[in-house]
A = this chain, B = another copy of it.
Amino acid sequence: MVASIEDVARRAGVSIATVSRALRGLPDVAAATRDRVMTAAADLNYVASPFAARLASGRTTTVGLVVPFVNRWFFAEVISTVESALRRAGFDLLLYNLGDEEGRARFFDVMPMRKRVDGVLIASLVLEDTEFEALTELSRPVGLLGLERHGFLSARIDDVAAARSAVDHLVAQGHRRIGLIGGDTDDPMAFTPPLHRRDGYRDALRAAGLSADPELEQLGYFTVEGGQEAARRLLGLADRPTALFAESDEMAYGALREIRRAGLRVPEDVAVIGFDDQPLSELMDLSTVRQPVADQALDVTTRLLTLIADAADELPRDPAVVLPTELVVRGSSVTSRP
């Protein structure tokens, strides 16, 4: 019923080897022959069986994308970008969502990507050494998104510097007591931002001659609700902070909500700055640090595909790319905009 390469060969009056060559655009096929093959294939509505091709060639034309969540803005953006880049290159996307701690353990234990991908993309996961090893054992190029490691392709932002720029900005507005709403750095599902953004926060305080205060660092778990609860705790402190830095816009939304609920004004009573610059943030007039998510995803995907295409077993000279972030100052952190 569905045409196979033999049907095409018969119809075009050539061998199956020639059909294969012609359809894949290989050189050394006479133009006239190629035309006949193309026509025959079109007539029969033929597409090659990917599995037969993969078995014969050893190439899978498939990339595995591993994410810890799909339901967060950053990761949804990554999935969307990677999917379209792969599709454009004729690659399939195999999506692996870790979900929870158990799912993560199972994933690295079973390694369901074995024998089915030409390359792997890992989005913003803090990986342990054993997990890096498991990845390495795949003997396939691996691209890291949002983190960096020697010996791997990667695209990321400088989370430390970006966070620091946010807090520097608050300091420049005269704030001396600045709260942090962050992620759990001990979370087994840990992804990379919480560690680095907290470091950037602490760096900025130190540089401003401000002492760190554990009370000022509250967990918001990267959710709106968590951000709101963290803000509630911060606003309840005896010596209330006058500014809050949230490690994600979503947590900042929760903070904005809580501040309003408490009858306080933004930014007069409490200034707020987030991280990401999701589309919603402009609407919320939220100051934030913009990170180029699609750019990072596209960058590492493109380089991974190049590596795969070249069948290179060596990394390029500059495997680690760091993309710039941008401080976006809006009404939540300054009264009169510059």
Contacts and interface: CB of A to CB of B under 8 A. Distances in A.
Interface of A: 1-2, 47-52, 54-55, 60, 69-71, 73, 76-77, 79-80, 83-84, 87, 92-97, 99, 103, 112, 114-116, 139, 223-225, 228, 254, 257, 279-280, 283-284
Given A70-B76, A95-B95, A97-B84, A224 B280 contact: yes
B225 A279 contact: yes
Contacts of A223: 279
A115 B55 contact: no
A165 to B, nearest CB: 26
A279 to B, nearest CB: 7
Contacts of A283: 224-225, 228, 254, 257
11 contacts: A50-B115, A70-B70, A76-B76, A80-B99, A83-B95, A83-B96, A223-B279, A224-B279, A224-B280, A225-B280, A254-B283
A97 B254 CA distance: 30
Given A116-B92, A224-B283, A73 B70 contact: no
Contact of A49 (B55, B84, B228): B55
B55 A52 contact: yes
Nearest to A90: B112
Nearest to A83: B97
Nearest to A4: B115
A129 to B, nearest CB: 19
Given A70-B79, A71-B77, 15 more contacts: A47-B114, A51-B55, A52-B55, A69-B80, A70-B70, A70-B80, A71-B80, A79-B95, A80-B99, A84-B97, A84-B99, A224-B279, A225-B280, A228-B283, A254-B283
